Chains A and B, each alone.
Chain A
Amino acid sequence: MLPGHADFRLSEGPPPKKLNGRRPIPEKPPTEPPAALDVWDRRVADGLAFLRRRLAGAYEVDEFGFDPELTESVFHPMLRVLYRDWFRTEVFGVENVPAEGSGLVVGNHSGTLALDALMLTVALRENRPHPRHLRLLGADLVFRMPGMSELARAAGATVACNPDAERLMNTGQLVGVFPEGFKGIGKNFSERYKLQRFGRGGFVSAALRTGTPIVPVAIVGAEEIYPILADLKPLARLLGVPYFPVTPTFPWLGPLGLIPLPSKWLIQFCTPIPTAHLTEFADDPLVVYNLADQVRETIQATLHELLQKRPDPFAR
């Protein structure tokens, strides 16, 4: 303290006067000391505030219907249990995913229900210093089903079509696509880890048009969650779905058959394929086809590597 400062004091104003028995200064509302709030108080308060915001509609949704608040506070915590404790997922090469700006993650599709897509979104939220939202491109069947369509949109998915894919990539989003589609998730267990045809490569032309790097990703583990032993095609046609699976547990155990088998999951992100120099070839079928084939080969080779790392599908 500087000399002479110890006895320095601000002059005090006149003391508050009582007028008509009323206090001249309005009473402050009593504030709780912050120490009194313990963990549970805060959790209850946070939960109630969340509920109030949802009920009042005080949240933001983007033009695709993506609801980041709902995704982060409801969907992800639930999926994380499946990801961490049930499937014991290990992730490699996550540094290959661009930390910011657009990217197109292309994966192999398997597992009867598209759990692999959901686990991929969790992997990208969990495993990096910069967690990212993966914007999935889904089949139009998903968006036909009431209820399901709204869950998918709220979680950030949209219909797999070039205008949507390009719009997402142009705004710097990370887009996820599974070019095998229903051929991939609806294949028999005997076909496991054999990549199916990659469609017309529409995902490649969308990436080329926007100059977005393509990140191939191989997912091992999803094939074993609901092994398809047979496909009841007539029943599927009757229900208007692409396949009707018969697994060891479904339909025999009814809804219990929906519990996935606890396989061990490995996810490997491969080196990104830059496309910025190929923008003018977006309409060239040969370039598009070759690039799609390159992505497919990369994923297939990586699947074989991962399978060698995991000899037992149900290992710890």
Chain B
Amino acid sequence: MVTSPPSVVVVTGVSRYLGARVAARLVADSRIDRVVGLDPHDPPARLRGLLDGVERIRADPRAATEAIAELDAEAVVHLAVTSVPDPAHGGRAGMKEQNVIGTMQVLAAAQGAPKLRKLVVRSSTAAYGASFRDPAVFTEDTEPRAVPRGPFARDILDIEGYVRGFRRRRPEVAATVLRFAPMISLSAETSLTRYFAQPVVPTVLGRDARLQFVHVDDALEVLHRSIVEDHPGTFNVAGSGVLMLSQAVRRAGRVAVPLPETGLSTVASLIRRLGVEQIGLDQIDLFVHGRVVDTTRLVREFGFTPRSTETAFEEFVESHAAGSSLTADRLAAAERAILDGVRRVRAAADSADSKA
């Protein structure tokens, strides 16, 4: 079912990369009359260019309630979900405030908006929790078996709980929940791209997680389609295929340093001074359990296949070649050198034999 695209769209979280890109894309779509960006913070300079045609309202989620109702919004796109505590915005407390309380208020506002037809919420595959009894591949119907340790994953569970409540109260609104795999691309800076860009990458000893990524451009495409088309429901968004963490580290030409699971976050925060990205419980959960999702429902409903995990990661590796030590080229060179050496030694031995 495809109805007419909404004429007024409210996007939250436009001060961040994804929100700004989504808003810019909506502005470029001639079918949409008005794009309003809600964010308590000002966007950084590098994103300001993207937000030219976007009406920006600098408001915290509480003030957003009035804004959404006054604007006669037909669609609300909630992207103000952060995965890593940002010390500049209040650390973990600020993150929880934004993720959980923010979602609650945006959804309350959306519930009171009379003309609302569509709600799109950014979620994460972290919604499946982390347990040793988990199936290898999650479908959208898999229930989390254990409450995850990571703060972001807990927030995601709360956020999805609020969306369930919203669906009950406004069943006529097409609510789309998109569970994204970690995003990766040439330009986007996420905690995971920073992680793989380090020369030395801490991993969990004795664990090798199965990972999936989604290319940011594909994530944008899915978000855009869920705004201009009607796709109610919950969808996994990930690139097909799997990379093991060790494999990804090797493909990125980095060196993995396995650390024991207990105290990994302490060690990681201690060596953060050496330029190593801090690892939180969310990452440890991911690296211990891995996370692979089934995207059959997304492909069928959206008619769109995101590029594979392997391709998405390859693009990322190409753009972050600086600082890698064990590249494929160097390994191939080493292989040739060793083979030549072996031949030379054998040839020398043979000639010595024939002389004797």
Name A's B-contacting residues (CB within 8 A). Answer: 41, 44-45, 48-49, 51-52, 54-59, 61-65, 67, 140, 143-147, 149-150, 153-154, 158-159, 161, 163-164, 167
Contacts and interface: CB of A to CB of B under 8 A. Distances in A.
Interface stretch (B56-64, B81-89, B132-140, B194-202): B132-140
A255 B203 CA distance: 29
A150 B328 contact: no
Contacts of B346: 41
8 tightest Cβ-Cβ pairs between the two chains A and B: A146-B206, A57-B250, A163-B135, A147-B206, A57-B251, A57-B247, A56-B328, A150-B208
**B contact residues, range:** 35 or more
A38 to B, nearest CB: 9
Given A44-B342, A164-B136, A149 B247 contact: no
Contact of A61 (B132, B134, B247): B247
A61 B137 contact: no
A120 to B, nearest CB: 21
B133 A140 contact: yes
B287 to A, nearest CB: 11
Contact of B335 (A52, A59, A153, A154): A52
Interface in B204-247: 204-208, 210, 241-244, 246-247
A44 B346 CA distance: 12
Interface in B243-267: 243-244, 246-251, 261
A159 B328 contact: no
Given A52-B331, A59-B247, A159 B135 contact: yes
B335 A146 contact: no
B251 A48 contact: no
Interface string B46-66: 000000000000000000000
A65 B342 contact: no
Contacts of B133: 140, 159, 161
A140 B246 CA distance: 22
Interface string B131-151: 011111101001000000000
Contacts of B339: 44-45, 48
B39 to A, nearest CB: 37
B15 to A, nearest CB: 36
Contacts of A147: 206
A61 B242 contact: yes
B343 interface: yes
A63 B342 contact: no
Contacts, number: 95
A144 B343 CA distance: 46
A58 B253 CA distance: 11
Contact of A146 (B207, B249, B250, B332): B207
B326 interface: yes
A233 B132 CA distance: 24
Contacts of A144: 132
A63 B242 contact: yes
Contacts of B343: 41
A163 B142 contact: yes
Contact of B205 (A54, A65, A146, A153): A146
B290 A65 contact: yes
Contacts of B244: 61, 65, 67
Contact of B139 (A149, A154, A163): A163
A164 to B, nearest CB: 5
Nearest to B204: A146
Contacts of A48: 335, 338-339
Contacts of A62: 242
A7 to B, nearest CB: 45
Contacts of A44: 339, 342
Nearest to A145: B206
5 contacts: A56-B326, A57-B243, A63-B136, A67-B244, A154-B208
B313 to A, nearest CB: 10
B292 interface: yes
Contact of A55 (B142, B210, B292, B331): B331
A294 to B, nearest CB: 27
Contacts of B207: 146, 149-150
Given A140-B132, A159-B134, 16 more contacts: A44-B342, A48-B338, A56-B250, A57-B249, A63-B137, A63-B242, A63-B292, A65-B210, A65-B290, A144-B132, A146-B207, A146-B261, A147-B206, A159-B132, A159-B136, A164-B136
A256 to B, nearest CB: 24
A158 B137 CA distance: 10
Given A48-B335, A146-B207, A56 B134 contact: no
Nearest to A51: B335
Contacts of A167: 135-137
Given A48-B335, A147-B206, A65 B136 contact: yes
A113 B42 CA distance: 60
